[in-house]
Amino acid sequence: MARRHKPKTPPAKQRFSGAESHKPKPPPATKQRFSAAERSALYARREAANVLRSVLRGDAERRAVASIKSLVFSPSVRNKRATFALVCETLKHLTVIKDVLEIANVLNSKWKRQEPLVYIICYDILFGKDTPSIGDAEKFLMRHKDALLSGLATLLVRKKVESVDQLLGLSKLNGHLKPRYVRVNTLKMDVDSAVQELEKHYTVQKDETVPDLLVLPPGSDLHAHRLVANGRIFLQGKASSMVAAALQPEAGWEVLDACSAPGNKTIHLAALMQGQGKIIACELNEERVKRLEHTIKLSGASNIQVFHGDFLGLNPKDPSFAKVRAILLDPSCSGSGTITDRLDHLLPSHSADNMNYDSMRLHKLAVFQKKALAHALSFPQVERVVYSTCSIHQIENEDVVSSVLPLASSLGFKLATPFPQWQRRGLPVFAGSEHLLRMDPVEDKEGFFIALFLKTNKLDNPKPSELPERESRRRRKERTMQLHPFLCPKMFRALSRTLHRRRRKPVLCINSED
């Protein structure tokens, strides 16, 4: 009987043929691809949310770490233009966005913890040109787009207005076009070379007041320019550039910048000193210290020493500061002169009636400013002190200077006139205010204030009655100790007892030389 042979089993690749071989297989896991524009928009929304979080937190605590512009144009933000636009527009519409979210009631606890990002995305959905399509938060809010739009319509009806512009009540800022100022970093580049390079794309003029400052047309965007990126030029306003120039530090000096971050004035000092001497840059806030260090590194300045600490905590008699000859004091202020530049008018605290708060805040700022200025004047070897603010308020400017004038005079300081050719001077509220410098928000496109104190060569040997009592007693005691006790012991002991009792009856003509 013939043996049957079992058919050979085909190899695995040939086992299935025909229809059975085409069973559907699960598609391989592939990474979802997004367009470059989608990725850029996604990153811009995240960066804008981070900036917005810092801005809102600082505004709520009344302790802003930096202005909106400073935060947006920090090195960590990549898409600066888109981020800046998103932050500004979201802040303009923030009240409306909050009301719409409350009406729509679509946020759960997860997204309530990410409110800045939600505000940014809601702006894009309700008012933006591009509809967000990628990102978990974007997808969540897009699923509730109809509820958000319905909430906006309900809000318009409640407020009895026909458009979002009416709802916002946005008053157009008196839009005066401000030139773009650029300061040349002379540590890396001379002014003429900078002019030659910038003239390839812009109309450039040299400023009449500050030698290393250039003036470009309004709206000139140089944030991505290679000269900015490599630290050869810095985008710095005219008023800010006038502060270091008013101090006029000499090459080889030791200078103290009391409140230095973000560092533009600090590195300007370094350039004016030709990279020589030493600059002590004080900054209390840790985040602002990082910004300061980045600015210094970008500038190429090698004579700046950063001190992370409180200027008011420095001991003027410490030997470390024995050679400090000039101090630049640009303390915290209301920023009322640069409110448009800083965009503070967009913040929630500026949208309501905060007159009482503003008055209290100005008083607290003035107390700090007086204390800081008096402290700056107390450093023994200091010959020049510049006090400046970006404020328009008398309480932060003339009143601060007036309050320290008696102390300044007793220490040998007098008010000097920075930039004598400048027309706008201090408010006529005390004798000598004509030495002060003011910039007008309308005429000069920003409000600013500068006071310059110069120490005379010597105190004009004031009489004891013209000196503070403590200083007068100290001088009498020093002269007394100059009399050798062994030459006239009885007279010395009698005089010592007299001074100890604080009697003013002269035993000897000790003060005849005063």
Rounded CA separation 191/464 (Å): 52
Structure tokens at 340: 């448009």
Q: Is the pLDDT of residue 18 over 50?
A: no
- Tokens standing for 82? 């888109």
- CA quadruple 106, 112, 114, 115: dihedral, nearest 10: 80
Per-residue pLDDT, 9: 52
Find, among 377, 270, 395, the residue nearest to 326 by Cα: 377
- The angle at the Cα of 341, spanning 130 to 94, to the nearest 5 degrees, equals 45
Of residues 210 and 70, more confidence is placed in 210
Q: Does 66 have pLDDT greater than 80?
A: no
Is the Cα dihedral 135, 140, 143, 148 positive or negative?
Answer: negative
SS3 (DSSP) at 433: helix
The whole-number average pLDDT for the span 144-171 is 82
Average pLDDT (256-260) is: 97
| pLDDT per position as a tens digit, 477-502 | 555 444 444 434 455 455 555 555 54
- pLDDT tens-place string over residues 428-482: 999 999 999 999 988 898 999 999 999 986 444 444 444 455 555 655 555 544 4
**Does 416 have pLDDT greater than 50?**
yes
* Confidence grade of residue 7 (pLDDT, cut at 50, 70, 90): low
The pLDDT score that the predictor gives to residue 68 is: 77
Are 96 and 88 spatial neighbours (Cβ–Cβ below 8 Å)?
A: no
Q: In this predicted structure, what is the pLDDT of residue 483?
A: 41
Altogether, the residues listed in the chain come to a count of: 514
Binding residues for S-adenosyl-L-methionine: 259-265, 283, 310, 330
Lowest mean pLDDT among 25-39, 180-194, 252-266, 332-346: 25-39
Confidence of residue 348 (pLDDT cuts 50, 70, 90): low
Asked if pLDDT for residue 210 goes beyond 80, the answer is: yes
Residues 332 and 504: their CA atoms lie apart, in Å, by: 45
> What would the mean pLDDT of 295-300 be, rounded to a whole number?
97
**Quick one: pLDDT band at residue 396, thresholds 50, 70, 90?**
very high
Which of 120-129, 147-156, 306-315, 459-468 is predicted with the least confidence, judged by mean pLDDT? 459-468
The burial class, CB within 10 Å (0-12 / 13-18 / 19+), for 196 is exposed
User: Span 161-181, mean pLDDT?
Assistant: 67
Percent of all residues in the chain with a pLDDT value above 70, rounded to a whole number: 75
pLDDT of residue 178 exceeding 90: no
Question: 3-class DSSP state for residue 18?
Answer: helix
pLDDT tens-digit series, residues 69-126: 778 877 778 888 888 888 888 888 888 999 999 999 888 778 888 889 999 999 989 9
Burial letters 247-262, b for 16+ CB under 10 A, else e: bebeeebbbbbbbbbb
pLDDT at 171 over 80: no
How high is the pLDDT of residue 108?
A: 79
Long-range CB pairs of 142-146, under 8 A, 24+ apart, other chains included: 144/104, 144/106
193 band by pLDDT with thresholds 50, 70 and 90: very high
Identify the pLDDT of residue 70: 75
Q: Which residues are catalytic?
A: 390
Query: Which one-letter DSSP state was computed for residue 512?
Result: G
pLDDT on residue 25: 55
Residue 451: its pLDDT value, please? 98
- Sign for the pseudo-dihedral over CA of 55, 61, 63, 65: negative
Q: Classify residue 143 by burial, with Cβ atoms within 10 Å: 0-12, 13-18, 19+.
A: exposed
110: exposed, middle or buried (Cβ count in 10 Å: 0-12, 13-18, 19+): exposed
* pTM, to two decimals: 0.64
Beta strands in 318-391 (DSSP E): 324-329, 384-389
Q: What is the pLDDT of residue 292?
A: 95
**Residue 374 pLDDT:** 98
CA distance readout (Å), 380 to 220, 408, 460: 45, 12, 17
What pLDDT is stored for residue 92 in this prediction? 83
Rounded to an integer, what distance in angstroms lies between the CA atom of residue 395 and that of residue 34? 55
| pLDDT value, residue 13 | 44
Whether the predicted pLDDT of 505 surpasses 80: no
Distance (Å, rounded) from C-alpha 2 to C-alpha 8? 18
Residue 4: predicted pLDDT: 54
Distance CA 117, CA 64 (A): 19
pLDDT given at position 475: 54
What's the mean pLDDT when you consider all of the chain?
Answer: 81
| Mean pLDDT on 30-37 | 65
